[in-house]
Amino acid sequence: MPFDESLAGRVRGVLARRQGVQEKRMFGGVVFMLDGNMCVGVWKDSLVARLGAEQAEAAMREPHVKPFDITGRPMRNWVLVGPQGVADDDRLRDWVRLAVEFVVEMPAK
């Protein structure tokens, strides 16, 4: 299944005014990098978000969220937010904001 272009477009819209954003295709989806660090992405019909340890743990208690695992080995502190969890634009912005807040603290690559 190819990634959801509509969801990717919505993510592009959320990140449109932010400096240092690059888009790359990987994992059969699309990833949005912030200053060279992976931040969020779209895989199939879901949002992938990179969060800090505490945020990732809290996110796992949210509906429609599970670990990001496409290889049988989950990526640490990455979550997969299902379509229902990002159907609303405000919720999508919240997830992207959480990921950006974590990634901006990382050194640029």
Whole-prediction pTM value? 0.94
* pLDDT single digits (tens) 48-104: 999 999 999 999 999 999 999 988 999 999 999 999 999 999 999 999 999 999 999
Measure Cα distances from 58 to 5, 9, 48, 55 in Å.
28, 27, 15, 5
Higher pLDDT: 58 or 109? It is 58
Does the pLDDT at position 1 exceed 70?
no
Model confidence pLDDT, tens digit, residues 67-81: 999 889 999 999 999
CB 1 within 8 A of CB 44: yes
Domain ranges of the chain: 5-103
CATH of span 5-103:
3.90.1150.30
